[in-house]
Chain A
Amino acid sequence: MAGYFKSIRDGFKLRNFTNYILIAAALILFLILELTGVLRRSHANLLAQVGFSIILAVSLNLVVGFLGELSLGHAGFMCAGAYIGCFVANQLHKTSLPPLVTLIVAMAVGGIVAALFGFVVGLPALRLKGDYLAIVTLAFGEIVRNICKNLPWFGGAMGLPTEQYGTHLFIVAFAVVLLMLILTQNLIHSKHGRAITAIRDNEIAARAMGINVVFYKLFVFVFTAFFAGVAGVIYGYYTTPVIYSSFTFNYSIEILVMVVLGGMGNITGSILSASLITVVNFVLQSNLSGDQAAIKYLVYALILMVTILFNNAPAFRPIKEKIGLQAILSRVRKKFGLKHPSENPEEIVDDSAKWHRIPTKIKMDSILSTDLKPADDGTLEPDPRQEDKHE
């Protein structure tokens, strides 16, 4: 753990600016709207919902996209965090602490308790793989829910009543999103992040390279569970009461949908798809009322299937190349004479020089750099375009 923080401190940078700008811009924009009183209450609450959805999606993306393990129990962590965090908050509300302090304490407690649960789930992850791990996480989520329902001090079937924070909740939520992005993106780009992706790509090779697989797997589960727990507390503040029936495995699957649609291992993608799905759900929910409510799932299901089929089916590839987002963008770029970074080989930064930070037993990079020197006739020179695609 100490090593982790040290390396984070050494290499601490604000990486991947797009995400910070995206979130900060949204926060500032809506903050202004809120302070000027233009922002409606339903939209302020929607923003809080967007906030915790982003936290959930990005943290799940760490497990699914970066560690490469399928987890269907994210709502379980959220449930644990929500119940315990809000239980603590309810106790603190009796004292004279300001609401913001209470909220922060509740988030910390909820997060830590969820992180403990994450550790417990991480243990089977050391032994199980793929779909077996997926069903264990699902089972774990259901167990947490079942136990929370039956514990007497959590209100049973009636749920745990919570205090409301009001419309400013989204500011807190977005602040947590920013904090999480800083931690997550620095983690991903540190040697630890590379170790995690190495485990995803080939666990045995990673182990052979001296990567501590046990530590990293547990670490990722603890880290993501922490943020799921924090999201759970925000959820508890967003609505009262906290009730176990909100955290079914269907909710876990909904978070997974956000991750998959956004692109696995793509943080910006998770942010965008989490916001989009939440907003789409809100629009469907608030416009299709009465008799039309049943159409909502139909529309949602169709959107889901069409998006996945269009993005993934080989049969659609030619159409996608013509009318897909990438194709449109490349046409736009052509028109303005812009180039995608991958089309500009000169711009690709060779950061292999900085690799000395990886403390491997063998000086791998020195060996590699001598071997890969381009031959005079240029035949051995790796194609930069090809390499970039694997990024």
Chain B
Amino acid sequence: MSKFTKAFLFASIIFAPFAANAVTVASWGGAYTESQKKAYADTYSDPGSIVFENYNGGLGETRAQVESGNVTWDLVDVLPADAITGCDEGLFEDISSEIASMGVPGPDGESIAEDMEANGLNYHSGWDCCVPQIFWTYVVFYDPDAFPGEKPDSMADFFDVEKFPGKRGIHTWADGIIQKALVADGVAPNAVPTVFANQTGAIDRAFEVMDKIKDHVVFWSAGSQPLELVKSGEVVMAVAYNGRVGAANLAEGENFEYIWEGQVLDQEYLCLTTGAPNREAALDFMMHASSPASQAEQAKYITYGPMRASGIPIIEANEPWGPGGVDIMPHMPNTPERLKVSIVNDPQWWSDNGAEISERYSAWMGN
């Protein structure tokens, strides 16, 4: 046996136990995963036992792992529609009783589900397999310098190129923008999901509103692009992930204004993969990550809002909460008064209609 082989065997004996016990969390990477590492892993009783791996969203890899019986991801950070599909398909394990019994309660004993309902969410089957993470939103923002006179402050303004001339930055997929279009057309933000679900022709109506600005749109496809578009003056207003705008304002000294009206709140979940190799440890970490304290902690590092309503008072009471003594609440999407003018996305409706709408949206862009 060569020296090298011996060293290798030795090393694998030494390191194997650590590698085998580490809980692997698949997440989106970038600043978001950084914030998870700081807020969830570093505050955990055993930070070394959590390993993050990057992926690009969707259930493709998870399904391949579960189907082949070769599961390497214990936990997956997913969008709500994927939480629903994954739970329905059995890609994620139904742990509803564990969540109810092990979940960290809020200060007044609120359960995870009660906390989410307080934020305007309704039960869906994703709740059986997953614990909540953050609210992220599609929000419109602009550089106030671009509007010396009157400043836009509503969705109607965003869709009105005569009142506020200039290009708009919009993403290349439908989710987020078609809801905003209805708000511009006079639907109350809170009513948008029910209008889509119950009124035939609501989708056509949204597309008609979007037609008005179609010739004034620059389409973006990566989260950093809208910031670049507004900064360089390519567009005057853009839809973006609010966390990106918050980071630009807090860390890069920008002075962007948000239009909170018609922001589309979407959810984010941490789910347990069926057949996860470190099931027990992963469950324990899930409960830690979904505690109100961890969720509030995360807001220090990225301006996404805690999905548990009891996370918000922790931030409010301890301002300035952000690093370097900055206030975080001005950038939180789910304060009570902002929730009043927000659209809370209905993931079940999207998981029913998402594919069809995205095809329509593409056809619309291309025409």
- A and B bind: no
Residues of B whose CB lies within 8 Å of any CB of A are none
